[in-house]
Amino acid sequence: MIEHDEFGPEKILEVSDADTGMHGFLVIDNTVLGPGKGGIRMTSGVNAEEVFRLARTMTWKCALAELPFGGAKSGLIIEKGISLDEKKKKVEAFSRALKPVCPSQYIAAPDINCGEKEMKWFAEANSSMKSCTGKPADMGGLPHELGSTGFGVAHSADVAAKSLGIGKNVAIQGFGNVGQFAAKFLAEIGYTIIAVSDSKGCIYNPGGLDVSKLISIKKETRSVVNYNEGEVLDGRMVFELDADIIIPAAIADVINKDNADKIKAKLIVEGANISITDSAKEILHSRGIFVVPDMIANAGGVISSYVEHIGGNEDETFKMIEEKVRKNTKLIIEHAQTKRIKPHDAGIEIAKQRIREAKK
Ligand code: NAD
């Protein structure tokens, strides 16, 4: 159920096209601060409600990052095993269908199952380079493949771990764009990645995994479980290991009432969007486990989108992400601790205040 409140959603569109079989959704949640910004989720099960929840997260995320963007998100149904040609036709049809509101009220970006190639198709079908970000470099883009989100997640984890006095062993769920770059940047600043999972399972080595080797193995064999210097576990075990920090970097609702009690880590940094259910957030809070929420931790993606939108370069992107994500991680820790509230609630409180002020 999508509930409307003072913040939105302003528009919910469902679009389809019989010729290509395209079927998708767009939710423009709130445009008080600017056009709604949010990626296109390309999965087989995406639906309007999921898109709304993600759009709302974007509303908070853009307000917290102090960007001139509102919140939105879209979803395009892409079945598993679809050919590249069919996918291209669907992306193009989706782009044409959204043209009346894109880029005027919605600016797209990559999300799950989507990268610079899809953004090129989207921008060309819309015929405006401003219709999306995450385009290839030769189209003026700062591609998703630079790893800006994972870079921000790593900085957020670093600030939180240092402020809260938490150790350096990290377990990561999901080894795609966010998971790989978070692992890479964290390893570079002295953290030990002890476990990584993907949809095929989890690889665990308490002595540490070699991140570059793991990235090559994932690329070559499509799964981290083929890394041969570690124990292969069921994917769900990634949350139950003796890690100091957990980074969910895959799909929604993965930490829930069934596993929140089993988590041993003292810090969770949400690389993925809405990876923790409301009931799990309560459990984690009561157990003293600190969660840096998605709207702060993975804001690197949207900050990079903003730099692309204003014609900036790679160096400016990384500098802005580091500054904003580190500052906001500190802000959320202080706010949550001072008010003794959940960090998610602290983030929403600050974002709401900024949007209400802008509306005045
Ligand atoms: P991706 O498609 O590149 O990677 C997803 C990874 O998750 C893959 O390794 C896949 O195997 C794994 N996975 C899928 N189902 C799983 C399961 N059940 N258990 C374990 N692993 C599973 O996606 P991404 O771009 O890395 O995005 C990951 C998450 O981060 C999403 O929630 C996305 O919304 C969020 N996010 C991404 C960006 C970005 O710039 N990429 C920005 C903000 C938020």
Distance 248 CA to ligand 1 centre (A): 9
Query: 258-285, pLDDT tens digit by residue?
Result: 999 999 999 999 999 999 999 999 999 9
Indicate the residue type of 90.
K
φ, ψ of residue 133 in degrees (nearest 5): -120, 175
Q: How far is CA 27 from its chain centroid?
A: 17
Distances (CA, A) of 24 to 33, 45, 209, 257, 356: 25, 11, 39, 30, 31
Q: 56 CB under 6 A from ligand 1? A: no
Q: Which of 50, 54, 198, 255 to mutate to test the pocket of ligand 1 (most atoms within 8 A of CB)?
A: 198
pLDDT at 55: 97
**CB of 47 closer than 6 angstroms to any ligand 1 atom:** no
Q: Round to whole Å and give the CA distance between 112 and 198.
A: 13
What's the pLDDT at 143?
80
State the closest ligand 1 atom to the C-alpha of 252, by its place in the atom list counted from 1: 32
Evaluate: CB of 156 within 6 angstroms of ligand 1.
no
In 3-state terms, what secondary structure has residue 128? coil
Span from the CA of 198 to the centroid of ligand 1 (angstroms): 9
User: Does the pTM of the predicted model rise above 0.85?
Assistant: yes
- The ligand 1 atom at the shortest distance from the C-alpha of residue 251 is 32
Give the max Cα distance, the chain.
58
pLDDT tens digits, one per residue of 151-200: 999 999 999 999 999 999 999 999 999 999 999 999 999 999 999 999 99
Catalytic residue ranges? 73
DSSP 8-state code for residue 154: H
Give the whole-angstrom CA distance, residue 294 versus residue 175.
17
pLDDT confidence bin for 11, thresholds 50/70/90: very high
Residue type at 47 in one-letter notation: N
Could you tell me whether strands 22-30 and 70-77 are parallel, antiparallel, or unpaired per DSSP bridges? antiparallel
- CA 173–ligand 1 middle distance (angstroms): 9
Alpha-carbon span 95 to 131, nearest angstrom: 9
78 Cβ closer than 6 Å to some ligand 1 atom: no
The alpha carbon dihedral of 148, 150, 154, 157 has a sign of positive
Q: Are 89 and 20 in contact (CB under 8 A)?
A: yes
Confidence class of residue 255 from pLDDT cuts 50, 70 and 90? very high
Ligand 1 site, residue 197, Cβ cutoff 6 A = yes
